Amino acid sequence: MGVAGLAGALLAGCAKQGATVQGQQIHDLYVLIIILAAPVFVGVEGALLWCVLRYRRRRGSDGRPVPQGAGGPRSLAVFFAIPTVLVAFFFLLGERTLADVQRREPNPAVELRIDSFQWQWTFYYLNEGFFVTGRTLTKVPVIALPVGAPVHVRLEARDVVHEFYVPEFLFMRNALPGRPNEFTFTPTRIGTFRGQCAEFCGLHHDQMRFVLKVVSQADYAAWVDQQRKAAQRVDCDPTGPLRLVSKDNSWNTGCLAVGASGPFVVSVSNQDAGIEHNFAVYDSAKRRRTYFQGPRFVGVAEQTYQLRPLPKGHYYFECDVHGPAMSGSLLVK
């Protein structure tokens, strides 16, 4: 009964079919391993139970001699041969699936660069020219991908090791500082899938989540359009001295505004103990022109930066250590 319960639980668990082409192959491998492993498991537990029931010492059997045979080379050979055959078979199965999962798509429909850091993700849509990011502890990034189209990912990390993991894709991959990883997946099912960092990455590891919506081609095109427009629509008004506060690797605001009258001061308070931040101003998220770049400093500390006068317009500021996830608009009015 316990055996049936185990097999049942494992089979129920594999109901998760894998929402990508690659995930389905991994799911098939999972089922194959069950088919191979279940007889071994049932056989050994069954033999154990049989011995316990059949060979328990009974009243009156005291003194009856117990067979003292302890096997020889033949049993040894058999004991080695059985697992060897199983293992060889299992190895070949695994290699076949591995090759499929690792195969890289030459013509991906979407090229993503995923940047990870404590404790947030930034998703750069390389061909569409925008990015999506969240705010640590307050906003989870939500991205969309078209169904049935191969997605190529370049996965990077800025500070420590993280891990891109979407349970429904049956796939995870480490994001390693200094060692980018690349992989391809093709979503096969429309739906909302949750992902989160799976490699322990410090204090707020458990909050490092993202949401991945797989949508129809038409919905995807509309979403891309909306993202592009939103990037240009930020606005706020000058309200006195400029002050930025970073806490849990998030700025307190995404919009700073200043009158175009002359030099101005930005004070930056870094509340993140042991973590570096800085303040820099660029033309846009593409960072083609640098207007100001303050030195990095470790929290908890405060720095005040003097900036030269800037012509009226829309600028982009960020912390260079954490990139777009710690960015915003600087409006000179």
Among positions 105-124, residues that touch other proteins (CB under 8 A) are none
Q: Is 295 in the site for other proteins (CB under 8 A)?
A: no
Question: Does residue number 179 form part of the binding site for other proteins (CB under 8 A)?
Answer: yes
Q: What is the DSSP string of 24-55?
A: HHHHHHHHHHHHHHHHHHHHHHHHHHHHHHHS
Closer of 55 and 252 to other proteins (Cβ): 55
297 binds other proteins (CB under 8 A): no
**206 or 302: CB nearest other proteins:** 206
Residues between 153 and 172 that touch other proteins (CB under 8 A): 159-161, 163, 165, 167-168, 170-172
Among 207, 269, 271, 303, binds other proteins (CB under 8 A): 207
**In whole angstroms, how far apart are CA 141 and each of 14, 63, 133, 174, 233?**
28, 74, 5, 19, 18
Nearest to 133 by CA among 124, 122, 144, 143: 122
Backbone phi and psi for residue 171, each to the nearest 5 degrees, phi listed first? -150, 140
Pick one of 147, 190, 198, 231: the residue that binds other proteins (CB under 8 A): 198
206 makes contact with other proteins (CB under 8 A): yes
Query: By CB neighbour count within 10 A (0-12 exposed, 13-18 middle, 19+ buried), where does 207 fall?
Result: middle
Question: Where does this chain touch other proteins (CB under 8 A) — which range of 195-203, 260-268, 300-308, 322-330?
Answer: 195-203
Does 91 sit near other proteins (CB under 8 A)? Answer: yes
Instruction: For residue 14, state whether it binds other proteins (rule: CB under 8 A).
Output: yes
Q: How far is CA 229 from CA 130, 137, 281, 321, 327, in A?
A: 10, 26, 21, 26, 17
Interface with other proteins includes 151 (CB under 8 A)? Answer: no
Q: Which stretch binds other proteins (CB under 8 A): 54-62, 225-233, 238-246, 257-265?
A: 54-62
Task: For residue 191, state whether it binds other proteins (rule: CB under 8 A).
Answer: no
Q: Let me know: does 204 contact 136? Beta carbons within 8 Å.
A: yes
Q: Are 263 and 299 in contact (CB under 8 A)?
A: no
Using alpha carbons, select from 245, 254, 253 the residue that is nearest to residue 272: 245
Three-state SS at 85: helix
Q: If binding is defined by CB under 8 A, does position 199 make contact with other proteins? A: yes
Sign of CA dihedral 194, 204, 112, 15: negative
Per-residue x/- track, 66-85, other proteins (CB under 8 A): xxxxxx---xx--xx-xxx-
CA–CA distances in Å: residue 289 to residues 165, 232, 262, 281, 282: 35, 18, 20, 9, 6
> Is 214 a binder of other proteins (CB under 8 A)?
no
Question: Which segment (97-105, 216-224, 225-233, 262-270) binds other proteins by CB under 8 A?
Answer: 97-105
Give the sheet arrangement for strand 301-307, strand by strand.
250-251, 242-247, 264-270, 301-307
Q: Based on CB atoms, which residue is closest to other proteins, 118 or 329?
A: 118
Residue 296 lies near other proteins (rule: CB under 8 A): no
* Binder of other proteins out of 94, 191, 259, 309 (CB under 8 A): 94
Contact 258, 291 (CB under 8 A): no
Question: Segment contacting other proteins (CB under 8 A): 44-52, 239-247, 256-264, 280-288?
Answer: 44-52
Q: Is position 104 an interface residue for other proteins (rule: CB under 8 A)? A: no
Q: How far apart are CA 155 and CA 12, in angstroms?
A: 32
Q: Which stretch binds other proteins (CB under 8 A): 64-72, 109-117, 226-234, 263-271?
A: 64-72
Q: Indicate whether 48 belongs to the interface with other proteins (CB under 8 A).
A: yes
